[in-house]
Amino acid sequence: MSSSNKTSLGLNAWSPSDKPVRQDFVDDNIKIDEQITKLNRDLGNNIVSAHDGKKLKLKYVKYSCPIVAGVKYQGKLNFASIGIEPSKVLDCFLAPHNSLPNDTFMSVRDDNHYAWSNTYTGTVVYGLLVIYQD
């Protein structure tokens, strides 16, 4: 049996004088299984974190938009069109792997996401990570 030493998950942390028994391992496996099941469920629901009782979710969107140099706020992506209530959006970021033409900018304005460039005309493709409240 384990002493009163436990990990943050409540798993047994035996002392040298402890004599582990089978039930210790069974109990630890149940705790590990419960934590992994919860993590998989949360990841499947895109839950990033919970703060003050509010669940935050993360959604990845691959977006392609044509832009014309010098025209701001083009390529409008409305959050509602990707299943997110605009008022629930807390922030959004370009995914780190993006390679955009020089002088290409992204912006969030009026519940929409936009792209524009001062010098580039063509199509930009980028990934967007949207953090929103559930």
State whether 105 and 117 are in the same domain: yes
State whether 33 and 61 are in the same domain: no
Q: What is residue 73's DSSP assignment? A: S
Gyration radius of the chain over CA positions: 23
Q: What is the pTM of this model?
A: 0.52
Which residues form the domain of 92? Answer: 48-133
Residue 63 has which token pair?
């977006």
Q: Where in 11-121 does DSSP place strands (E)? A: 47-51, 54-67, 74-78, 89-94, 104-109, 112-117
State whether 113 and 85 are in the same domain: yes
Per-residue pLDDT of the chain (134 residues; tens, 9 = 90+): 666 788 888 899 888 888 889 999 999 989 988 888 887 776 666 666 666 777 788 888 887 778 888 887 777 778 888 888 888 888 887 665 555 666 666 666 666 677 777 888 888 777 787 888 87
Pick from 61, 76, 69, 84: nearest CA to 108? 76
State whether 32 and 52 are in the same domain: no
State whether 75 and 128 are in the same domain: yes
Number of domains in the chain: 2
State whether 83 and 30 are in the same domain: no
